[in-house]
């Protein structure tokens, strides 16, 4: 962002009362979520309304809004723990971002006979990366995880390095992978909070959402039509309203783990529990609480948040800024909010329509819950000056 050396914060407080005018669910108007911050913090925002949940029988809990990635409920969310097969969320994310989904791979011998859950891949059989992803996320095949690592990364070690690089890119400080399947290793760990953020990142991809919301799927076996029937281990699918994923996990050391997601009235929630005594039942409680206490609120229509900046060296003295799209934010039901503008002191020409120059911070109970980028509304060229004007500064 081009701006003067000295930046000041212009606080324009726009206080809105959450009346029925503003809290109409999006589905009534047929609208979709249309805005997402360009940069998401590496840790979910712990707001004042984030509640501790001692009654949940899991050692670590994190529930976030998938849109803003704000922490809604939490318990031991920052404690480092093993994650078992929920590891495969990152495995899938890296594979989707780096692999050719329709390329057919020959299953190597290194991927055969892996301990734990398996789809019983045979050496030499051929499957596409897409088929392997279904094997990975529905049946939780450890052999599929190794096959993906070798096929996409060129080797298990190389692929694990890709997983760790992706975690570092996201700013995750407590997540480290030593394998692509999640079999217990003391150096292989995450936190409930960071696992929720990994899941939110993966759910940016429609293919990931499609796979983890699928209850059953058929893939080939040794090239024949008489293939494998894969069954999703997530018991919430079909048994909880709005459930749309994500991944189960279990090892003796890590205990039962579950990452779930559900969506109602435009609010999409991601819940994570690690070392959970009753994951399905506990996730129903967590998701119910989220939908009971929070809703998606349209805090501004496109163009509602406006400001101007002094423009130096341009064909005009000022340039306009606004939010280009409707803004929806997850907020506690019945709570007020306000918006503060954070703008540079001025801008230097030329500027182009769509350039980001500043932001609007959405505050609830004094805490930042969302950031809205403000864009230039028009292109302004540098003002042409004559030799004498440049010489004498006129």
Q: Name which residue leads in pLDDT, 34 or 79.
A: 79
Q: In whole angstroms, what is the distance from residue 182 CA to residue 248 CA?
A: 11
Return the CATH number of the domain spanning residue range 1-32+301-394.
Answer: 2.60.410.10
The whole-number average pLDDT for the span 89-99 is: 99
Beta bridge partners of 308: 320
| pLDDT for 325 | 96
pLDDT category of residue 15 using cuts at 50, 70 and 90: very low
pLDDT at 359 over 90: yes
**What residue spans of the chain are helical by DSSP H?**
26-29, 88-98, 129-137, 142-153, 156-169, 192-202, 206-212, 279-293, 387-392
Assigned CATH for 45-293:
3.40.710.10
Catalytic residue from among 85, 117, 118, 295: 85
pLDDT score for 384: 83
For residues 125 and 128, give the distance between their C-alpha atoms in angstroms, rounded to a whole number.
10
pLDDT digits (tens, 9 = 90+) for 220-256: 988 776 789 999 999 999 999 999 999 999 999 999 9
Domain ranges across the chain: 1-32+301-394, 45-293
Q: What is the pLDDT of residues 133-185, one digit of tens each?
A: 999 999 999 999 999 999 999 999 999 999 999 999 999 999 999 999 999 99
Whether the pTM exceeds 0.75: the reply is yes
Q: Is the pLDDT of residue 124 over 90?
A: yes
Q: What pLDDT sits at residue 271?
A: 98
Non-local CB neighbours of 79 within 8 Å, separated by 6+ positions: 59, 60, 191, 192
Q: Of 88, 247, 256, 275, which one is the catalytic site residue?
A: 88
From the list 146, 133, 107, 150, the residue with the least C-alpha distance to 247 is 133
Average pLDDT over residues 263-279: 97
The residues that bridge with 318 in the sheet, in sequence order, are 310
When pLDDT is cut at 50, 70 and 90, the band that residue 23 belongs to is very low
φ and ψ at residue 116, rounded to 5 degrees: 85, -160
pLDDT band at 266 (very low <50, low <70, confident <90, very high): very high
The confidence band for 390, taking pLDDT boundaries of 50, 70 and 90, is low
221 vs 300, higher pLDDT: 300
Containing 338, the helix (H) or strand (E) segment is strand 338-342
Q: Any idea which of 316-320, 377-381, 390-394 has the lowest mean pLDDT?
A: 390-394
pLDDT at residue 367 in the model: 86
Torsion of CA 82, 88, 91, 97, to 10 degrees: -130
Cα(255)–Cα(305) distance, integer angstroms: 48
Q: What token pair was written down for 179?
A: 């394998």
Catalytic option among 60, 118, 140, 295? 140
Per-residue pLDDT tens over the stretch 59-75: 999 999 999 898 998 99
Q: How confident is the model at residue 54, as a pLDDT?
A: 52
Name the average pLDDT for the chain.
Answer: 87
Provide the 8-state DSSP code for 189: B
Q: Is 140 a catalytic residue?
A: yes
- For residue 17, is pLDDT > 70? no
User: Rounded to whole angstroms, what are the CA distances from 251 to 82, 86, 92, 108?
Assistant: 9, 11, 20, 25
Residue 330 near residue 267 (C-beta atoms within 8 A): yes
Asked if pLDDT for residue 386 goes beyond 80, the answer is no
* pLDDT per position as a tens digit, 181-219: 999 999 999 999 999 999 999 999 999 999 999 999 999
Confidence of residue 315 (pLDDT cuts 50, 70, 90): very high
């Amino acid at each position: 962002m081009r701006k003067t050396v000295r930046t000041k914060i212009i606080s324009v407080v726009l206080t809105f009362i959450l009346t029925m005018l503003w809290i109409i669910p999006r589905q009534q108007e047929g609208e979709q979520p249309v805005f997402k911050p360009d940069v998401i913090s590496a840790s979910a925002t712990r707001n004042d309304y984030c509640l501790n949940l001692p009654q949940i029988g899991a050692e670590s809990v994190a529930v976030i809004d998938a849109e803003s990635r704000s922490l809604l409920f939490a318990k031991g969310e920052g404690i480092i723990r093993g994650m078992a097969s929920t590891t495969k969320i990152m495995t899938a994310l890296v594979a989707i971002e780096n692999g050719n989904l329709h390329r057919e791979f020959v299953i190597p011998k290194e991927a055969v006979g892996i301990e734990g859950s398996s789809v019983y891949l045979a050496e030499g059989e051929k499957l596409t990366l897409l088929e392997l992803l279904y094997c990975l996320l529905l049946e939780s095949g450890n052999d599929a995880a190794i096959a993906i690592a070798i096929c996409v990364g060129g080797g298990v070690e190389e692929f694990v390095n890709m997983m760790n690089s992706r975690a570092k890119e996201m700013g995750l400080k407590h997540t480290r992978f030593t394998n692509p399947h999640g079999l217990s290793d003391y150096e292989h760990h995450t936190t409930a909070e960071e696992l929720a953020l990994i899941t939110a990142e993966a759910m940016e991809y429609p293919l990931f959402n499609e796979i983890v919301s699928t209850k059953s799927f058929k893939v080939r076996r040794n090239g024949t039509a008489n293939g494998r029937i894969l069954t999703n281990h997530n018991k919430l699918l079909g048994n909880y309203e709005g459930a749309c994923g994500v991944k189960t996990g279990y090892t003796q050391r890590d205990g039962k783990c579950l990452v779930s997601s559900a969506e109602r009235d435009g609010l999409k929630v991601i819940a994570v529990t690690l070392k959970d005594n009753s994951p399905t039942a506990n996730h129903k409680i967590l998701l119910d609480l989220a939908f009971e206490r929070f809703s998606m609120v349209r805090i501004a229509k496109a163009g509602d948040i406006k400001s101007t900046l002094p423009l130096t060296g341009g064909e005009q003295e000022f340039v306009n800024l606004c939010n280009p799209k409707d803004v929806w934010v997850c907020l506690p039901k019945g709570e007020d909010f306000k918006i503060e503008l954070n703008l540079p002191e001025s801008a230097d020409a030329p500027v182009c329509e769509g350039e980001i120059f500043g932001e609007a911070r959405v505050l609830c109970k004094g805490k930042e819950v969302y950031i809205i980028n403000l864009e230039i509304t028009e292109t302004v060229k540098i003002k042409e000056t004559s030799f004498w004007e440049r010489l004498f500064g006129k």
